[in-house]
Amino acid sequence: MRLPLNSILLAATAALTLSATPLQAATEEAQGKLPLDELRTFADVYNQIRIGYVEEIDDSTLLEYAIQGMLMGLDPHSVYMNKDDFSALQEGTSGEFSGLGLEVGIQDGYITIISPIDGSPAAAANLQSGDVILKLDNAPVQGMTLNEAIELMRGPKGSEIELTIGRAGESQPFSVTLVRDTIKVASVRGRWLEPGYGYIRIAQFQLDTGEDVEKALDKLLKEGKLKGLILDLRNNPGGVLSASVNVAGLFLNGGPVVYTEGRLPNSDMHFNAQPGDITDGAPIVVLINAGSASASEIVAGALQDRGRAVVMGSTSFGKGSVQTILPLSESRAIKLTTARYFTPNGRSIQAEGIVPDILVERAQVTAYDNAGQITEADLSGHLGNSSAESDAKKTRASSARIAAELLASDNQLYEALALLKGINILGLRDRRAAGEATPTVQ
């Protein structure tokens, strides 16, 4: 049976009319001009597939394929979502789901890892941002939709899946077997690196991330005076926009954080911070890398543009687009890119990313062994020192030990801490030169 062209034209007209809500409406001019020749071609192709394809495909499945194809041709983040996909999206923003713990996207036709989630099977297997997934359980991934690949990677807790990975710099692909687990994303972790220097790690921007960062900072501030803070956004794939605005707002005394621009009037939005800096102006270093995307880039870009933080690490992922969930029915929706993000100074993040103020690539660093060097303290008959200076020496030795551990395990974090200390030392010297009473910093 041939599908009437008029039915397809009528459906297209109805779709344009029904989509004319305040969020989705196109202009009246665009609604009034349907590409009739292209729709006839679509109807002809649709009918040829219905009657001639080697296997019979029902109309609803074929139309879903057509919708998926339209969205795939737009950009990597516009996708068709069935009921399971929508549930998975809600799970991701709530912070708990079952799977491998990977944030993925499509790049050059391949499923590419944006970042592994802290504490997940993917992170434990040392999968990295930029890795390309070539096969899932020996099934080639090229040509799959993003949703199809995600569906294969999800599964019951305890079940295994083999991933074939291509990595830049590796001559041959390699395989890893991961065991699916319940992924509980600890959105925020905080600790002291050493007295006075705090560390906040944000793994993902969930609904309550802003509140969680505030609680972590309150806990640190109750335990001691904050001389400097490192905000670690490396391998953070982003998440909820409002959470990124709330986090940036904790360190900004009001003013712009981010704005969006799109074709529709209601896509143009401005987001501002609330007055009050929770750290009272303490120096901040923000760490980013190629796995820092979307909401992470909003925070880094806002603090960089507003002169509130030094951004360190490597250039971020470059996802500067806004996706809107548009329901089609109770069980289906599309995620459509509707706008672009811009930093307070008007920089577009899209495909450019945030370029750090200080470039520090992740590297394995080995400290030079100076154990054989002789100092004054090794000389026979050397003069002694006061107990107070001896205590200071112990404090410096403790700091040196912490620094050595960081240098061996995380050179970027080591450099961030060193920068904070340098900023503090210069600040103290400036205040001393001005005649202010200042405590001694070790």
pLDDT in tens, 425-440: 998 777 778 776 544 4
Q: CATH 2.30.42.10 in the chain, residues?
A: 96-184
Higher pLDDT, residue 424 or 442: 424
**Nearest of 213, 246, 218, 256 to residue 232 by alpha carbon:** 213
Q: What is the DSSP letter of 224?
A: S
Q: How much is the CA Rg of the chain, to the nearest whole Å? A: 27
- 311, 300 Cβ separation under 8 angstroms: yes
Q: CATH 3.90.226.10 in the chain, residues?
A: 188-359
Question: What's the pLDDT at 371?
Answer: 63
The confidence band for 366, taking pLDDT boundaries of 50, 70 and 90, is confident
The confidence band for 393, taking pLDDT boundaries of 50, 70 and 90, is low
- The amino acid sitting at 197 is Y
Arithmetic mean of pLDDT, 70-84: 89
Mean pLDDT of the chain: 85
- The amino acid sitting at 393 is K
Distances (CA, A) of 97 to 92, 153, 181, 185, 187: 7, 12, 8, 9, 13
In this structure, what token pair is assigned to residue 151?
């569906």
Question: What's the pLDDT at 17?
Answer: 41
Arithmetic mean of pLDDT, 60-69: 90
Q: Indicate the burial class of 167 (C-beta count within 10 angstroms; 0-12, 13-18, 19 or more).
A: middle
Tell me phi and psi for residue 319, to 5 degrees.
-95, 95
pLDDT tens, position by position, 184-214: 777 899 999 999 999 999 988 988 999 999 9
Q: At CA 305, angle to CA 427 and CA 93, rounded to 5?
A: 110
**Positions marked active-site:** 294, 305, 319
Q: Does domain 188-359 have CATH number 3.90.226.10?
A: yes
Residues forming beta bridges with residue 96, ordered by sequence position: 184
pLDDT tens, position by position, 216-232: 999 999 999 999 999 99
Arithmetic mean of pLDDT, 10-17: 46
Place of tokens 């991933």: 163
Percentage of the chain lying above the pLDDT 70 cut:
85
Count other Cβ atoms within 10 Å, centred on residue 274.
12
The answer, yes or no, to whether residue 420 has pLDDT greater than 60, is: yes
Residues forming beta bridges with residue 110, ordered by sequence position: 107
Arithmetic mean of pLDDT, 57-77: 91
Higher pLDDT, residue 275 or 184: 275
**Nearest of 269, 150, 274, 282 to residue 225 by alpha carbon:** 282
The answer, yes or no, to whether residue 92 has pLDDT greater than 80, is: no
The answer, yes or no, to whether residue 265 has pLDDT greater than 90, is: no
Question: What's the pLDDT at 389?
Answer: 57
List, in order, residues 6 or more apart from 339 with CB less than 8 Å away: 260, 261, 262, 267, 268, 269, 321, 322
Higher pLDDT, residue 129 or 261: 261
Question: What's the pLDDT at 25?
Answer: 46
385: region left, alpha or beta (phi > 0 left; psi from -120 to 50 alpha): beta
The answer, yes or no, to whether residue 329 has pLDDT greater than 90, is: no
Domain 96-184 belongs to what architecture?
Roll (2.30)
Higher pLDDT, residue 15 or 77: 77
- 193, 417 Cβ separation under 8 angstroms: yes
First to last CA, the chain: 84
How far apart CA 383 and CA 257 sit, in angstroms, is: 57
Q: Which has the minimum average pLDDT: 62-66, 79-83, 300-304, 411-415? A: 79-83
Arithmetic mean of pLDDT, 234-255: 94
How far apart CA 246 and CA 275 sit, in angstroms, is: 11
Higher pLDDT, residue 26 or 404: 404
The confidence band for 136, taking pLDDT boundaries of 50, 70 and 90, is very high
